[in-house]
Chain A
Amino acid sequence: MNASLQARSDFTVIARWIPQRARVLDLGCGDGSLLQFLAHTRAVQGYGVEISPENIVACVRNGVNVIQNDLETGLAEIETDSFDFVILSQTLQAMRHTEAIVDEMLRVGRQAIVTFPNFGYWRNRLAVACGHMPVSDNLPYEWYDTPNVHLCTIDDFERFCARRKIRICERVVLNDGAEVAVAPNLFGQLAVYRFERLSV
């Protein structure tokens, strides 16, 4: 249990944003460790969405509600505005239909939270400048076996939000678990955003 509660650095940032007993949907929830963490620290009522059979078993083992579903096909089972928060933790970059999933998140949730590896991090830029795709703790794949099809930088994501009438409520950029204040698009490894629809 302690091992699974060993929070990833973005977990603590996310937990900070979520009030007690909120209703939370975690897309691509893996083994359910974020929801387990939020259940312990924030008493949330949480549901995960996962596609992998192994992760479904792991979520059931961890006592986390999980719905087996392919995120790429949308969230048809979930009513509009039925969650306080919809989280997509380190999965955005692996989604094929990036725009569609962000729309779905903002349909079913009041606010959305995404975390993704910042491709603008200086080490990533350096790797590309030296002629190679970066491989690191946050980007642990080789170019030929990576599930990441839509990598982006912090600046890219913010431009995406501006174009899609999305209001960014809060942003935290992390480097080895510590918050980055200066030149985040250069020094940040991991970006964590909370955002909502711009009211029309």
Chain B
Amino acid sequence: MNVELALPENGVGLVAPKVAHFAEPLKLRSGAVLSDYRLMYETYGELNAERSNAVLVCHALNASHHVAGWYADDPKNVGWWDNMVGPGKPLDTDRFFVLGVNNIGGCHGSTGPASNDTATGKPYGASFPVITVEDWVAAQARFADRLGIDRFCAVMGGSLGAMQALQWTIDQPQRVAHAIVIAAAPKLSTQNIAFNEVARQAIISDPDFHGGDYYAFATVPRRGLRIARMIGHITYLSDDAMMERFGRVLRADDFRFHFDVDFEVESYLRYQGEKFAEVFDANTYLRITRALDYFDPAKQHGGSLTRALASTQASFLVISFTSDWRFAPARSREIVKALLDNKRNVSYAEIDAPHGHDAFLLDNAHYHEVVREYFNRLARELAARAEP
């Protein structure tokens, strides 16, 4: 196969997703119950005999269980964190057993709004419950039980994935040795929620949305989803990164005095929206943005993040990026402060990167070195414990 030659040789290589079915009902924070559900997942590396080298990688808004590697039938579909996870990479799959799980409510194979409700035989659509970060952690913990993993060596994620890592340390304190919390916020700002609301309104007001039951009409609210993605994308990039990449470059020699694409950035956003609307489910987008809005561990503790994190036992690595204005470094420092207040082991790196929120997905030598050294240390700890 010629196509194989073009693929990076230093990755985990060919991977195949797997499915886990759960017949035991899952009670959600909203009070709703998922009577049965499935989780799509991938694993990389080998679980050691002590089952002590497992690392859970939690995904953000638009990603999935496909963290690393590529598929035989879709070799261009490389995992979303392939630069981070693989043999010899910062999270080294020669030493760690890495688990990626598509969250419930998602649209990459785990039970979500587009799945058939076993009670009706029809897609859930609007009836699929609103889900929260706590629900995801509960489902992941149950999945860990099934895999026989009592305690994760690390739970790791960026953005919404980092919020799950943080929630793990609160809800399952004994089951997380280390949490790696990247480009996170302890809760959304008013502005963050406002952006999410605009994205949701774009979807909901699309005539093809049909109140969320568009599956029955063999259509999708593509226009709404496109706009939602365009809005989201603006918040993932920094002003400087956009200026650097697109400037005010025009597609033609001069203005064309119309409302079609004039500027390169318009073309880029439309392309991103288009691509996203092809593969992503609008109902999932609504629910994931809501999960972001509702994430606020301090809420049950009178607004005190310090008290919210008092139950944690993990050691933490917190990382932010200087140009991230969606979840700015100050937001990560709130987490660091609450951990310091609780005398938790914590290290904090503020990476000088120009790319905005998306920097957590990109190559950056300092960023990757910090993560690599952190995992090197975990590998040394594991080796020391394995010695008789």
Contacts and interface: CB of A to CB of B under 8 A. Distances in A.
Interface residues of B, number: 22
Contact of B350 (A23, A68, A82): A68
Given A53-B366, A77-B333, A60 B343 contact: no
B348 interface: yes
B152 to A, nearest CB: 19
A82 B374 CA distance: 26
B347 A66 contact: yes
B245 to A, nearest CB: 24
A68 B317 contact: no
Given A53-B366, A61-B377, A77 B337 contact: yes
B340 A61 contact: no
B373 A66 contact: no
B347 A67 contact: yes
Given A67-B346, A68-B350, A77 B340 contact: yes
Given A61-B377, A82-B340, A82-B341, A68 B346 contact: no
A66 B315 CA distance: 12
A148 interface: no
Contacts of A82: 340-341
Contacts of A64: 347
Given A56-B370, A57-B369, A82-B341, A67 B377 contact: no
B340 A79 contact: yes
Contacts of B278: none
Contact of A66 (B348, B376, B377): B348
B343 A45 contact: yes
A59 B346 CA distance: 12
Contacts of A63: 377
- Which of A61, A66, A82 has most chain B Cβ within 10 Å? A61
Binding site secondary structure of chain B: helix
A51 to B, nearest CB: 9
A61 B348 contact: no
A76 B352 CA distance: 20
Interface in A36-60: 45, 47, 53, 56-57, 59-60
Nearest to B350: A68
B333 A60 contact: no
B340 A60 contact: no
A45 B345 CA distance: 8
B57 interface: no
A59 B340 contact: no
Given A67-B348, A68-B348, A77-B337, A57 B370 contact: yes
A65 B343 CA distance: 11
Contacts of B373: 57, 60-61
A76 to B, nearest CB: 8
B61 interface: no
A60 B370 contact: yes
Contacts of B346: 47, 65, 67
A69 B370 CA distance: 15
Given A57-B370, A60-B374, 19 more contacts: A23-B343, A45-B343, A53-B351, A56-B349, A60-B317, A61-B373, A61-B376, A66-B347, A67-B340, A67-B346, A67-B347, A69-B348, A69-B350, A77-B333, A77-B336, A78-B337, A78-B340, A79-B340, A82-B340
10 contacts: A23-B343, A53-B351, A57-B370, A60-B347, A60-B349, A60-B377, A65-B346, A77-B336, A77-B340, A79-B341
A-B pairs with lowest CB-CB distance, top 4: A77-B337, A60-B373, A61-B373, A53-B366
